[in-house]
């Protein structure tokens, strides 16, 4: 019997799930993707927009391109989700699926820290990265501060990559000597979820570049050009770059899909929720690990989880193969500037702790990240 699969969110998870389902299911089955934005944007490339190595157009693709493949695209705001009926209210209209895949990501809480959004720039949105590029071009020197505004945020590597890429950008422009570059993190060290070895390696990469690193600094407010931290210290800046805190999508509040944290609880191997036919994957989920921290919010996980869900849904609709399971493996490139990147990979479901290794920065890993970018943008959209 023909079914319809309703996918909420056209980010990494939604786009991969839609493609993977379309390639496995015959055309009688409908696949519908809903997103408020007209375009898919690749967040991993926003750092290159910040450094002027990419334009916004180079890292975006219209979502309606999916329609050429037989995937329906609905542009609109998901206002409410009713998992019992596998239904979403989009712009006042109820859309229903035989299956529902929730992949709405995490929202940025831009208002969480008083004064931060007004005083600083973020590379975490495409608009923010573009404006930051403009501010960097006007900068002639001074104190540049990068900070994480909460210990948990999207992509644990991003702020550390940002600091090293800014170092590289200033060197390329012959102005590194005129810039004092500092990184303040709310967390006690880089990429803590990957273990002490990876954390120390990434810290070493950052400090080797003359970037002053201050862990365990939770920002409380910004006033004028001064940052105040919870531990009583202060820092002055000429340019402030920040990673915003995140929060669960409001559309899911009170839906029964979320727990007291506001994030969606799933079976960590199948991404099934407690509602039959309803799955959730990517940043919107909260998957506790053995070390007490959640699985990091990263596109690599959203991607692999989407493949698992697509495979299993197609299988239930008459497809072949064994049930697929997400096993917690993941990898990321860590841009270090000057056309180099490190590479971290391992099993985040490892017991008693995630088993992750990091490889030294090289041109090869940077080329790997560029290839991945091209593959995502050309294969999926
Ligand atoms: C600067 C930066 C660099 C990164 N680099 C990497 C990297 O190198 N490697 C890596 O693995 N990960 C990286 N990440 C993390 C990665 O981008 C996310 O983990 C990934 O996008 C999560 O995918 P998702 O599908 O769960 O959510 P998203 O990709 O965020 O997609 C969610 C979608 O839902 C839509 N949406 C949300 N709410 C609504 C609503 N109410 N109505 C309609 N539409 C809605 C949004 O518009 C969005 O398109 C980076 C993130 C940032 C910010």
pLDDT tens column, 148-194: 999 999 999 999 999 999 999 999 999 999 999 999 999 999 999 99
Q: How far is the CA of 114 from the centre of ligand 1 (A)?
A: 24
Taking CA atoms only, the protein residue closest to ligand 1 atom 15 is: 298
Q: How far is the CA of 225 from the centre of ligand 1 (A)?
A: 30
Give the global pTM: 0.97
Report how far residue 211's alpha carbon sits from residue 145's, in angstroms, rounded to the nearest whole number: 10
* Percent of residues, the chain, with pLDDT higher than 90: 99
Which atom, in ligand 1's list, is nearest to the CA of 123?
Answer: 1
Taking CA atoms only, the protein residue closest to ligand 1 atom 27 is: 105
Determine the pLDDT at residue 85.
97
Best residue for ligand 1 mutational test, from 7, 10, 12 (most atoms within 8 Å of Cβ): 12
Q: How far is the CA of 303 from the centre of ligand 1 (A)?
A: 11
Question: What radius of gyration, in Å, describes the C-alpha atoms of the chain?
Answer: 21
Contacts of residue 296, Cβ cutoff 8 Å, sequence gap at least 6: 155, 156, 193, 330, 348
Tell me the average pLDDT across 232-243.
98
How does residue 73 score in pLDDT terms, banded at 50, 70 and 90? Answer: very high
**Tens-place pLDDT, residues 29-66:** 999 999 999 999 999 999 999 999 999 999 999 999 99
Angle at 5 between CA 248 and CA 307, to 5 degrees: 70
User: CB under 6 Å to ligand 1: residues?
Assistant: 9-14, 34-37, 43-44, 46-47, 77-78, 103-105, 123-124, 154-155, 158, 249, 251, 282-284, 297-300, 302, 332
* Percent of residues, the chain, with pLDDT higher than 70: 100
Place of tokens 């990147």: 341
Determine the pLDDT at residue 23.
96
Angle at which helices 12-24 and 299-316 cross, to 10°: 30
Is the per-residue pLDDT at 227 higher than 90? yes
Taking CA atoms only, the protein residue closest to ligand 1 atom 7 is: 44
Determine the pLDDT at residue 126.
98
């Amino acid at each position: 019997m023909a079914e319809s699969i309703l996918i909420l969110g056209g980010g990494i998870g939604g786009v991969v799930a839609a493609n993977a389902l379309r390639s496995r299911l015959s055309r009688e089955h409908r696949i519908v993707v809903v997103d408020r934005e007209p375009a898919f944007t690749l967040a991993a490339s926003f750092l290159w927009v910040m450094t002027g190595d990419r334009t916004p157009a180079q890292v975006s693709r219209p979502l309606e391109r999916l329609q050429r493949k037989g995937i329906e695209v609905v542009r609109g705001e998901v206002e409410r989700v009713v998992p019992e009926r596998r239904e979403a209210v989009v712009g006042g209209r109820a859309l229903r699926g035989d299956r529902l895949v929730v992949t709405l990501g995490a929202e940025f809480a831009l208002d969480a820290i008083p004064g931060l959004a007004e005083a600083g720039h973020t590379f975490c949105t495409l608009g923010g990265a573009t404006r930051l590029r403009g501010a960097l071009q006007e900068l002639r020197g001074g104190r540049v501060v990068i900070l994480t505004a909460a210990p948990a945020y999207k992509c644990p590597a991003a702020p550390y990559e940002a600091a090293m890429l800014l170092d590289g950008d200033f060197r390329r422009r012959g102005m590194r000597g005129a810039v004092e570059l500092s990184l303040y993190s709310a967390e006690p060290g880089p990429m803590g979820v990957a273990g002490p070895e990876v954390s120390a390696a990434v810290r070493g990469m950052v400090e080797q570049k003359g970037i002053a690193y201050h862990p365990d600094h939770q920002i409380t407010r910004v006033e004028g050009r001064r940052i105040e931290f919870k531990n009583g210290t202060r820092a002055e800046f000429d340019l402030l770059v920040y990673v915003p805190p995140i929060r669960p999508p409001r559309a899911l509040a009170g839906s029964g899909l979320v727990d007291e944290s506001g994030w969606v609880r799933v079976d960590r191997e199948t991404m099934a929720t407690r509602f039959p036919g309803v799955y959730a994957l990517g940043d919107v989920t909260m998957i506790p690990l053995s070390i007490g921290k959640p699985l990091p919010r990263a596109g690599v996980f959203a991607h692999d989880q989407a493949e698992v869900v697509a495979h299993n849904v197609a299988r239930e609709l008459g497809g072949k193969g064994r049930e697929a399971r997400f096993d917690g493996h993941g990898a990321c490139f860590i841009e270090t500037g000057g056309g180099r990147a490190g590479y971290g990979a391992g099993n985040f479901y490892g017991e008693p702790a995630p088993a992750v290794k990091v490889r030294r920065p090289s041109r090869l890993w940077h080329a790997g990240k560029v290839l991945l970018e091209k593959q995502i943008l050309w294969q999926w959209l």
